[in-house]
């Protein structure tokens, strides 16, 4: 990367930022949190790895972005890349124009918690830095290569044709980065069939054939698929009518339960944090042990299911906070997949240093790798690519105008 790109991820009361340049070690990053409250603050790392903590009482998104940019302006960022969760049917990163902003707004019903917050951030940066090119990079875009038999639900057709009800998939930037990086490490860049398991607070799996997503575990929303920190993943959809009829719950209560009170937290009745659960299970907590078992079994089941999208399985990549750091979860998950020929090396798995990439199988059967994700790096790269393309197109049209 020849220039630096400011990557912004706006949530409803927080903003994650990273200034990404050529060398990963030079990255400056941080988090503005509790926005709108007396306790609003920015926490992060500045040049040279120094810690930053700055109180910005009652700052809103715009004020926080202004403060962040003021501190970073001497690094002269060349562009801003916004992480946007839902891009509807947009298939790639796009320069932010009024039309693209409208498309993000139109996708709001599909990501009601995320897209409005992204729009607030976009609105603020457009006003503050009108001279900087700004790009939206979508979590959904990578999965737009899924075939229709993978993205359609078995529901009445008009729900798809008139209301866009289909599977979209999320975590696309991570699955794209990890599968590209991993296949490169394996010596077959963007070739062959790979499975990825992104395991963080939100978790999802993906099947990738020759560099393209062919299926993924998340669907219309990020609730579908594997067990997550507080999200249930797949349940019988009749749970809604069961709870409504028997417990008198309304749709909002059910939605909240499935998104915020389920998953590892719901099963264990203790925590959504995998580290806490592993410790509790080691101390004999049976609910924690069951939560871990369900997590790994459902994850293996998802990977096995997604393998139907691949003509051949070359290997599996683990990533995300859990996938990168927990040898225990990796081993337990792979133990449910012996029939695919996966042959994990306990030594390589246990000895892999935290935060590093490496191969952890015996060298027979499909490969198994740990590949730390880099969503910010990927967003910066895609942003730079879009800006370069736009500049090249502008040059070309100038040249035509000069000839004409």
| Annotated binding-site ranges for substrate | 83
Angle in degrees, CA 12, 14, 17, rounded to 5: 130
Task: Give kind and range of the element (H or E) at residue 195.
Answer: strand 193-199
Binding-site string for ligand ADP from residue 68 to residue 97, where x marks contact by CB under 6 A and - marks none: ------------------------------
Which residues are CB-neighbours of 50 under 8 A, at least 6 positions away?
none
- Name which of 183 and 319 has its Cβ closer to ligand ADP: 319
Alpha-carbon distance 10 to 117, whole Å?
Answer: 6
218 to 237, contacts with ligand ADP by CB under 6 A?
229
Asked if residue 377 binds ligand ADP (CB under 6 A), the reply is: no
Q: Is 322 in the site for ligand ADP (CB under 6 A)?
A: yes
| Residue 278 is a binding residue for ligand ADP (CB under 6 A) | yes
Stretch that binds ligand ADP, among 102-110, 115-123, 137-145, 273-281 (CB under 6 A): 273-281
Both tokens of 189, joined, read 């860049």
Total residues at the site for ligand ADP (CB under 6 A)? 13
CB of 203 to ligand ADP, least distance (A): 8
- Give catalytic residue positions: 139
DSSP annotation of 353: P
Which residue in the set 3, 34, 108, 201 belongs to the binding site for ligand ADP (CB under 6 A)?
Answer: 201
* Nearest CB to ligand ADP, comparing residues 326 and 349: 326
Return all residues near 173 (Cβ < 8 A) that are at least 6 apart. Answer: 83, 137, 139, 142, 375, 378, 379, 382
Instruction: List binders of ligand ADP among 202-221 (CB under 6 A).
Output: 202
- Binding residues are 9, 16, 83, 198-202, 273-275, 321-325, 375
Query: What is the rounded distance in angstroms from the CA atom of residue 318 to the CA atom of residue 303?
Result: 11
Q: What is the torsion angle, in degrees rounded to the nearest 10, for the CA atoms of residue 284, residue 287, residue 288 and residue 294?
A: 130
126 in Cβ contact with 97 (< 8 Å): no
- Give kind and range of the element (H or E) at residue 116: helix 115-128
**200: contact with ligand ADP by CB under 6 A:** yes
Residue 294 touching ligand ADP (CB under 6 A): no
- Stretch in the footprint of ligand ADP (CB under 6 A) among 10-18, 250-258, 291-299, 315-323: 315-323
Q: What angle do CA 370, 229, 43 make, to 5 degrees?
A: 80
Smallest separation (angstroms) from ligand ADP to the CB of 381: 19
Distance CA 287, CA 289 (A): 5
Does 260 sit near ligand ADP (CB under 6 A)?
A: no
Binding site for ligand ADP (CB under 6 A): 200-202, 229, 273-275, 278, 320-322, 325-326
């Amino acid at each position: 990367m020849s220039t630096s790109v400011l990557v912004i991820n706006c949530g409803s009361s927080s903003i994650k930022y990273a200034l990404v340049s050529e060398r990963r070690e030079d990255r400056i990053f941080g988090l503005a949190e509790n926005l709108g409250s007396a306790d609003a603050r920015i926490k992060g790392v500045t040049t040279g790895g120094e810690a930053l903590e700055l109180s910005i009482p009652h700052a809103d998104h715009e004020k926080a972005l202004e403060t962040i940019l003021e501190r970073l302006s001497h690094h002269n960022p060349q562009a801003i890349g916004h992480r946007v969760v839902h891009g509807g049917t947009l298939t790639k990163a796009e320069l932010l124009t009024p039309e693209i902003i409208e498309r993000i707004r139109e996708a709001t019903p599909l990501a009601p918690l995320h897209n409005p917050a992204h729009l607030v951030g976009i609105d603020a940066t457009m006003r503050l830095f009108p001279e900087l090119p700004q790009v939206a990079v979508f979590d959904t875009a990578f999965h737009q290569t899924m075939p229709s038999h993978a993205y359609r639900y078995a529901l009445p057709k008009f729900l798809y044709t008139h209301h866009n009800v289909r599977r979209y998939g999320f975590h696309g930037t991570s699955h794209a980065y990890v599968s590209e990086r991993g296949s490169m490490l394996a010596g077959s860049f963007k070739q062959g069939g790979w499975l990825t398991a992104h395991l963080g607070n939100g978790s999802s799996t993906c099947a990738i054939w020759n560099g393209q997503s062919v299926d993924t575990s998340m669907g219309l929303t990020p609730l579908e698929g594997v067990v997550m920190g507080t999200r249930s993943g797949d349940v019988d959809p009749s749970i809604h009518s069961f709870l409504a009829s028997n417990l008198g719950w309304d749709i909002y209560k059910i939605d909240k339960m499935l998104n915020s009170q389920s998953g590892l937290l719901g099963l264990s009745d203790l925590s959504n944090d995998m580290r806490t659960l592993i410790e509790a299970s080691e101390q004999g907590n049976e609910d924690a042990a069951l939560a871990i078992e369900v997590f790994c079994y459902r994850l293996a089941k998802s990977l096995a299911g997604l393998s139907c999208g691949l003509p051949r399985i070359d290997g599996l990549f683990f990533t995300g906070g859990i996938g990168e750091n927990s040898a225990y979860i990796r081993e337990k998950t792979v133990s449910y997949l012996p029939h695919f020929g996966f042959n994990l090396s306990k030594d390589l798995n246990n000895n892999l240093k935290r935060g590093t990439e490496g191969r952890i199988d015996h060298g027979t059967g499909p490969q198994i790798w740990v590949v730390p994700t880099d969503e910010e790096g990927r967003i910066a790269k895609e942003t730079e690519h879009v800006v370069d393309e736009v500049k090249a197109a502008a040059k070309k049209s100038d040249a035509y105008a000069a000839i004409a």
